[in-house]
């Protein structure tokens, strides 16, 4: 299993990120270039067609509940050109997909700020590795041209190059602009083509750009800033930069085709004579704001607490006696409380007014509106009571401490909530920490030997770099071993605790641990292309998504606050009118109070005890924790919607080859039914199958090779690389007109005679008769769960090759476990009925669909979905992709193909069928937790609001002062988040428990 995962390549969910240019333009040596790009007139109309949608991540500050995130989402989607926008309250981020022809990234940022929140476009998460767009426009300086004929010659050569879509050359400026596909041809090949034509050529710049944030240590004075500014201006290929001196940061936009990020870092350190130390800000670290938000909330809470304690202490008679003196008509104690509470109300608590204003301006309401209403009511009533007493001499009681203590407890609750929410994103942090911070780069000396070691930031690794990995160190990037042998712990990806041996040409995965010997590796994938980065990307994208159940919570939250305000008004009206009419005794309120204040306190308590935040946090916190827990168990979940659907799975459809079986087919028997020698027969069949990519074809070639040479087969993973020509010149026969027929086999010509290798259908279509003896042999194979490969040569049946693919060791117990969970397993395969029935019988599956073509698998799924059942599909191959897409829940085995992984909703990284049970069980546990969260949130509000309104007061004398109601409100959100955090204790279900097996 471990070896099968070494080449795992996950497909990124989001597209490559592009940024609008901003800040200072660094022209440098390109000032003499033409202002009008040469290709603008060449393909002005087609440019828009090739422009791809852009995806950006925006950090949003100031969101407090789901109503805020909905406001931000509405503000973004209202922009013309925005295709999709998802806002995560927990991550404080917005994921925006838009058309750059209609809207710019800056406009998205401005829309969020206009909605009343702070916004910052984040650096690309793939900052260390550029993702080429579909086509690039590159500028080249071309020397040696003397006339129009030279220009035509260069243009003609360039336009004939593969991957070049257009080329324009200007004689006057000695410039050429080439539009090319970087996946087909690179800039160096273009330069070589121009030079081969007899001209001089040099690459200048391209339309590609990356944006990164660099931290600069050593910036002390204004002179240092000037040195840094001058250095950046003189770097060719650096398009723009924005210097943030107070933060010791610089944001740079550069052309990765013209210059590397490592060159920029080296240039800054070199020009400062080593004074400046540069590090690349990790994009995931930049995006994280929980620590800063928690620190800010703690400062506000402590400030409010220190100011509120004196206010509260003045209620104690012994202490209050020291403040009975008068200053004019006012008591000194009242003035002191008014001063301290005013600071709390408008200084510390000003954030609630700002947030409430934002919400109301955007036509929504949130918790901040309730807090602002409740605190304002008690504060302004107290101020009015003071002024009224000064004017009339009738002194009513003041309730300044209600306002300050209410704000204090709310801030304390928000602080605990931020801490708890930060715990929900621990999965991303742990995944990021798996990658090492630095790497040992091997630099060539004067003689070309890699003897000089240089420690660099791991984010500066480039493809092709030679790196040294010492024992006990983590592998810094996905790479190939070029020297040394060792054992590597790949449990991070495979889940297998057994160390994997590594030698020459072995692949290694970034973030895994080198256990023993030193290795020299050549980097192959860096930045967002690495397996670890793509796992992080999948988890992050899943945490950004919303589960469908959250829509109900969002709807309830949208009407919650207006409903609570109405109930608060009715509470005040009811108690005030009843008091005015003498419906209850005056003894219920103190002599220093009146029915107006009595009713007002109940009304304020209703406002501040209601909590819409708990409803808004119930789903996203649970989804975020669950996706992180899933990643830790090797189950990658692509979104909250997939997580929600998986809880209701009724059918699980399994592909056979590579899913229920190990996918490592081997030939067990080869029988010839003609006068041909067995060796010649195997050579003939292997020659026909050598061009096929099917697992059974590779097994046949390996078997034939081993039969002839008693050596490692040429298709073995760690064997030396052999080209097709090498194999042909060695032992295989020459093949012509090869064609693979999906679901049937292969057809080709050898020695000018037709060769057919495949199943019965292939031979019957070509009118080849199968002898009775061969038919009996074939039936016996199929009854023993073996696949018979039939071979015909020149229209005559000549033999059968038996291929067996052993079942995965856990297949039988997993099928039994699914049945115990109430899930019906189904096997769908393209294999023949007898083999399919034999395999199904062995694993315990009753429902079998055999001889099903790839397109037919999707039809089987649709037939099961007709009655509303939720159907899951587990597969690993390209032919499973339509079925994975058609299923309600697609689960791709991690060792499968990129296409299958992209089409699936779940990726089972560890290639184990047990993770199918884990995926379903985790989904059920998560949504059980979400239902409990909603129950807690709804039950709290349904019970707390009537109690705060005084329903129990006439019978029990129980009443909640506003500050205590505020504390209850704050802690209700914390309780919901903590409930979700209990999912972190999730443990994979033991099969023995599911099967009710007692182990003695």
Residue-by-residue DSSP string for 305-366: HHHHHHHHHTTSHHHHGGG--EETTEEHHHHHHHHHHHHIIIIITHHHHHHHHHHHHTT---
- Check residue 878 and give its pLDDT: 60
Which of 577-586, 804-813, 893-902 is least confident?
Answer: 893-902
- Tokens representing 844 are 């315990």
- Cα 874 from Cα 894, distance rounded (Å): 11
User: What is the pLDDT confidence band of residue 25, given thresholds at 50, 70 and 90?
Assistant: very low
- Cα 587 from Cα 190, distance rounded (Å): 94
- Cα 524 from Cα 479, distance rounded (Å): 5
Maximum average pLDDT range among 213-217, 337-341, 585-589 = 337-341
Using the Cα atoms of residue 733, residue 736, residue 742 and residue 743 in order, give the sign of their dihedral: negative
- Check residue 5 and give its pLDDT: 41
- Segment 780-804 mean pLDDT: 88
Instruction: Report whether pLDDT(127) > 80.
Output: no
User: What is the pLDDT confidence band of residue 685, given thresholds at 50, 70 and 90?
Assistant: very high
128 compared with 885, residue with greater pLDDT: 885
- Check residue 423 and give its pLDDT: 66
Predicted confidence (pLDDT) per residue in 715-727, tens digit = 444 433 444 444 4
- Name beta bridge partners: 508: 479
Phi, psi of 11 (to 5 degrees): -95, 125
CB atoms under 10 Å from CB of 718, counted, come to: 11
- Segment 568-595 mean pLDDT: 80
User: What is the pLDDT confidence band of residue 41, given thresholds at 50, 70 and 90?
Assistant: very low
333, 490, 654: which is closest to 5 by C-alpha? 490
- Tokens representing 57 are 């991540």
User: What is the pLDDT confidence band of residue 26, given thresholds at 50, 70 and 90?
Assistant: very low
- Cα 938 from Cα 935, distance rounded (Å): 5
- Cα 967 from Cα 989, distance rounded (Å): 38
- Check residue 801 and give its pLDDT: 93
- Check residue 792 and give its pLDDT: 95
316, 348, 470: which is closest to 415 by C-alpha? 348
491 compared with 943, residue with greater pLDDT: 943
- Check residue 372 and give its pLDDT: 81
Task: Give me the helices (H) in 546-677, please.
Answer: 550-580, 595-609, 612-632, 640-646
- Check residue 16 and give its pLDDT: 36
- Cα 827 from Cα 845, distance rounded (Å): 7
- Segment 522-529 mean pLDDT: 81
- How much of the chain, in percent, has pLDDT values that exceed 70? 80
Average pLDDT value for the chain: 78
Instruction: Report whether pLDDT(51) > 60.
Output: no
Which of 1-15, 302-316, 471-485 is least confident?
Answer: 1-15
- Tokens representing 458 are 């791991």
DSSP state of 5: G
The helix (H) or strand (E) run that includes residue 670 is strand 666-672
Maximum average pLDDT range among 447-456, 727-736, 926-935 = 926-935
User: What is the pLDDT confidence band of residue 709, given thresholds at 50, 70 and 90?
Assistant: confident
DSSP state of 40: G
Instruction: Report whether pLDDT(606) > 50.
Output: yes
799, 845, 852: which is closest to 826 by C-alpha? 845
Asked whether the beta carbons of 655 and 829 are under 8 A apart, the reply is yes
Strand residues in 879-973 grouped as ranges (E): 889-893, 906-908
Instruction: Report whether pLDDT(797) > 90.
Output: yes
Phi-psi region of 371 (alpha: psi -120 to 50; beta: other; left: phi over 0): alpha
3-state secondary structure of 721: coil
- Check residue 600 and give its pLDDT: 83
Asked whether the beta carbons of 249 and 218 are under 8 A apart, the reply is no
- Segment 961-970 mean pLDDT: 73
- Segment 928-948 mean pLDDT: 85
Query: On the CB side of 477, how many CA atoms lie within 13 Å of its CA?
Result: 31
- Segment 950-963 mean pLDDT: 81
Instruction: Report whether pLDDT(250) > 70.
Output: yes
- Check residue 800 and give its pLDDT: 94
Based on its alpha-carbon atoms, the radius of gyration of the chain, rounded to whole angstroms, reads 35
Query: On the CB side of 126, how many CA atoms lie within 13 Å of its CA?
Result: 24
- Cα 87 from Cα 544, distance rounded (Å): 7
Asked whether the beta carbons of 874 and 614 are under 8 A apart, the reply is no
- Segment 944-972 mean pLDDT: 80
- Segment 387-416 mean pLDDT: 74
Phi, psi of 907 (to 5 degrees): -120, 120
34, 15, 196, 66: which is closest to 621 by C-alpha? 66
Using the Cα atoms of residue 582, residue 585, residue 587 and residue 589 in order, give the sign of their dihedral: negative
- Check residue 424 and give its pLDDT: 62
3-state secondary structure of 963: helix
- Cα 182 from Cα 136, distance rounded (Å): 7
- Segment 813-832 mean pLDDT: 88
3-state secondary structure of 849: strand
117, 149, 105, 119: which is closest to 17 by C-alpha? 105
Which of 97-111, 187-201, 266-280, 563-577 is least confident?
Answer: 266-280
- Check residue 40 and give its pLDDT: 44
671, 666, 655: which is closest to 805 by C-alpha? 666
- Segment 7-22 mean pLDDT: 39
Predicted confidence (pLDDT) per residue in 172-185, tens digit = 778 888 888 887 88
Asked whether the beta carbons of 682 and 707 are under 8 A apart, the reply is yes
Contacts (Cβ under 8 Å, ≥6 apart) of 596? 576, 579
Using the Cα atoms of residue 236, residue 240, residue 245 and residue 249 in order, give the sign of their dihedral: negative
Asked whether the beta carbons of 337 and 316 are under 8 A apart, the reply is no
Instruction: Report whether pLDDT(50) > 70.
Output: no
Instruction: Report whether pLDDT(658) > 90.
Output: no
Asked whether the beta carbons of 646 and 872 are under 8 A apart, the reply is yes
- Check residue 934 and give its pLDDT: 84
- Check residue 394 and give its pLDDT: 60
573 compared with 135, residue with greater pLDDT: 573
- Cα 743 from Cα 697, distance rounded (Å): 13
757 compared with 939, residue with greater pLDDT: 757
- Tokens representing 331 are 């008591």
- Tokens representing 976 are 């919901």
964, 974, 988: which is closest to 937 by C-alpha? 974
94, 57, 56, 89: which is closest to 75 by C-alpha? 94
- Tokens representing 518 are 């030193």
**Hunting for tokens 């589960």 — which residue is that?**
547
CB atoms under 10 Å from CB of 276, counted, come to: 21
Maximum average pLDDT range among 9-13, 150-154, 536-540, 566-570 = 566-570
- Cα 696 from Cα 204, distance rounded (Å): 50
- Cα 253 from Cα 382, distance rounded (Å): 56
563 compared with 39, residue with greater pLDDT: 563
Cα 310 off chain centre by = 48
Asked whether the beta carbons of 516 and 454 are under 8 A apart, the reply is no
Cα 599 off chain centre by = 51
Phi, psi of 611 (to 5 degrees): -135, 100
Asked whether the beta carbons of 785 and 839 are under 8 A apart, the reply is yes
Cα separations in angstroms, 700 against 688, 710, 862: 10, 14, 35
- Tokens representing 735 are 């093949």
Asked whether the beta carbons of 179 and 187 are under 8 A apart, the reply is no
- Check residue 358 and give its pLDDT: 75
**What SS3 string covers 399-434?**
CHHHHHHHHHHHHHHHHHHHHHHHHHCHHHHHHHHH
- How much of the chain, in percent, has pLDDT values that exceed 90? 6
- Check residue 10 and give its pLDDT: 46
291 compared with 948, residue with greater pLDDT: 948
- Tokens representing 729 are 């010149």
User: What is the pLDDT confidence band of residue 593, given thresholds at 50, 70 and 90?
Assistant: low
DSSP of 506-551: -EE-TT-EE-SS-EEEEEEE-GGGSHHHHHHHHHHHHHHS--TTHH
The helix (H) or strand (E) run that includes residue 735 is strand 735-741
- Tokens representing 525 are 């994938």
- Check residue 132 and give its pLDDT: 41
- Check residue 273 and give its pLDDT: 79
Strand residues in 208-275 grouped as ranges (E): 210-217, 238-244, 249-254
Cα 918 off chain centre by = 20
Which of 202-216, 299-313, 927-941 is least confident?
Answer: 202-216
pTM: 0.66
Cα 711 off chain centre by = 44
- Tokens representing 367 are 């918790």
- Segment 328-342 mean pLDDT: 79
- Check residue 791 and give its pLDDT: 95
User: What is the pLDDT confidence band of residue 134, given thresholds at 50, 70 and 90?
Assistant: low
First-residue to last-residue Cα distance in the chain:
30
Asked whether the beta carbons of 635 and 908 are under 8 A apart, the reply is yes
State the pairing for strand pair 249-254/200-206. unpaired
């Amino acid at each position: 299993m471990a070896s099968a995962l070494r080449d795992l390549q996950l497909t990124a969910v989001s597209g490559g990120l592009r940024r609008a240019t901003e800040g200072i333009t660094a022209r440098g040596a390109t000032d003499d270039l033409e202002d009008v790009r040469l290709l603008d007139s060449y393909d002005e109309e087609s440019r828009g067609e090739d422009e791809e949608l852009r995806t950006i991540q925006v950090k949003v500050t100031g969101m407090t509940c789901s109503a805020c995130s909905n406001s931000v989402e509405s503000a973004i989607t209202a922009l013309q050109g925005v295709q999709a926008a998802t806002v995560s309250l927990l991550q404080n981020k917005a994921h925006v997909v838009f058309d750059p022809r209609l809207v710019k990234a800056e406009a998205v940022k401005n829309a969020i700020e206009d909605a009343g929140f702070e916004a910052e476009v984040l650096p690309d998460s793939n900052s260390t590795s550029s993702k080429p767009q579909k086509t690039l426009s590159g500028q080249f300086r071309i020397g040696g041209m003397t006339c129009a004929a030279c220009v035509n010659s260069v243009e003609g050569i360039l336009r004939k190059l593969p991957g070049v879509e257009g080329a324009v050359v200007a004689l006057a400026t000695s410039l050429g602009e080439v539009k090319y596909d970087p996946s087909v041809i690179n800039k160096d090949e273009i330069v070589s083509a121009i030079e081969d034509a007899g001209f001089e050529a040099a690459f200048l710049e391209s339309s590609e750009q990356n944006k990164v944030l660099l931290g600069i240590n050593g910036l002390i004075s204004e002179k240092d800033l000037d040195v840094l500014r001058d250095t950046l201006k003189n770097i060719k290929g650096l398009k723009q930069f924005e210097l943030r001196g107070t933060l010791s940061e610089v944001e740079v936009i550069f052309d990765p085709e013209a210059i590397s990020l490592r060159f920029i870092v080296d240039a800054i350190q070199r020009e400062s004579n080593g004074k400046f130390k540069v590090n690349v800000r990790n994009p995931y670290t930049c995006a994280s704001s929980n620590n800063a938000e928690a620190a800010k909330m703690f400062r506000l809470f402590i400030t409010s607490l220190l100011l509120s304690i004196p206010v509260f202490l003045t209620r104690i008679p012994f202490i209050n006696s020291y403040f009975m003196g008068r200053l004019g008509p006012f008591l000194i104690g009242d003035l002191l409380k008014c001063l301290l509470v005013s600071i709390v109300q408008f200084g510390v608590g000003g954030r609630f007014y700002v947030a409430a204003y934002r919400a109301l301006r955007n036509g929504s309401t949130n918790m901040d509106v309730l807090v602002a209403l409740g605190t304002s009511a008690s504060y302004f009533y107290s101020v009015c009571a003071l002024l009224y007493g000064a004017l009339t001499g009738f002194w009513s009681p003041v309730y300044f401490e209600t306002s300050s203590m209410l704000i204090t407890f709310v801030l304390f609750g928000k602080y605990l909530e931020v801490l708890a929410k930060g715990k929900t994103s621990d999965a991303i942090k742990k995944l990021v920490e798996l990658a090492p911070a630095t790497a040992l780069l091997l630099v060539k000396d004067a003689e070309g030997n890699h003897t000089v070691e240089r420690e660099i930031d791991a984010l500066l690794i480039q493809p092709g770099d030679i790196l040294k990995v010492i024992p006990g160190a983590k592998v810094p990037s996905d790479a190939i071993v070029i020297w040394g042998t060792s054992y590597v712990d790949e449990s991070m990806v495979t889940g297998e605790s057994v160390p994997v041996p590594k030698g020459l040409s072995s692949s290694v995965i970034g973030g895994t641990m080198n256990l023993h010997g030193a290795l020299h590796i050549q980097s192959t994938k860096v930045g967002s292309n690495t397996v670890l980065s793509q796992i992080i990307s999948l988890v992050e994208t899943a945490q950004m998504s919303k589960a469908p159940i959250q829509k109900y919570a969002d709807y309830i939250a949208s009407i919650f606050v207006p409903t609570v305000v109405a109930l608060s008004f009715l509470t005040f009206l009811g108690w005030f009118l009843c008091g005015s009419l003498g419906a209850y005794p005056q003894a219920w309120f103190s002599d220093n109070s009146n029915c107006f204040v009595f009713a007002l306190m109940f009304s304020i308590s209703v406002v501040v005890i209601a909590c819409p935040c708990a409803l808004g946090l119930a789903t996203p916190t649970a989804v975020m924790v669950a996706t992180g827990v899933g990643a830790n168990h090797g189950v990658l979940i692509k979104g909250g919607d997939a997580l929600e659907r998986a809880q209701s799975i009724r059918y699980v459809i399994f592909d056979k080859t590579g899913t229920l079986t190990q996918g490592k087919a081997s030939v067990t028997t080869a029988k010839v039914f003609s006068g041909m020698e067995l060796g010649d027969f195997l050579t003939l069949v292997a020659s026909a199958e050598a061009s096929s990519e099917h697992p059974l074809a590779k097994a046949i070639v390996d078997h034939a090779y081993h039969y002839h040479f008693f050596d490692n087969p040429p298709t073995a993973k760690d064997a030396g690389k052999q080209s097709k020509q090498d194999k042909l010149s060695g032992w295989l026969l020459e093949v012509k007109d090869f064609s693979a027929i999906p679901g049937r086999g292969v057809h080709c010509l050898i020695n000018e005679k037709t060769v057919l290798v495949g199943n019965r259908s292939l031979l019957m279509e070509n009118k080849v008769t199968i002898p009775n003896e061969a038919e009996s042999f074939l039936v016996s194979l199929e009854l023993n769960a073996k696949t018979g490969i039939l071979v015909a040569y020149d229209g005559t049946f000549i033999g059968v090759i038996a291929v067996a693919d052993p079942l995965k060791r856990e297949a039988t117990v997993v099928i039994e476990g699914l049945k115990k969970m109430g899930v019906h397993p189904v096997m769908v395969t393209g294999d023949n009925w007898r083999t399919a029935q034999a395999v199904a019988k062995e694993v315990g599956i009753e429902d079998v669909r055999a001889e099903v073509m790839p397109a037919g698998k999707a039809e089987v799924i649709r037939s099961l979905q007709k009655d509303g059942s939720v159907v899951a599909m587990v597969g690993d191959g390209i032919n499973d992709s339509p079925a994975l897409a058609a299923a309600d829940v697609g689960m791709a085995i991690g060792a499968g193909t990129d296409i299958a992984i992209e089409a699936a909703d779940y990726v089972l990284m560890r290639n184990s069928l047990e993770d199918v049970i884990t995926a379903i069980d985790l989904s059920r546990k998560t949504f059980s937790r979400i239902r409990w969260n909603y129950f807690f949130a709804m039950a709290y509000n349904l019970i707390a609001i009537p109690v705060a309104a005084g329903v129990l007061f006439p019978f029990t004398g129980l009443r909640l002062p506003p500050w205590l109601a505020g504390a209850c409100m704050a802690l209700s959100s914390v309780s919901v988040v903590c409930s979700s955090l209990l999912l972190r204790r999730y443990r994979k279900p033991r099969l023995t428990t599911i099967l009710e097996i007692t182990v003695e």
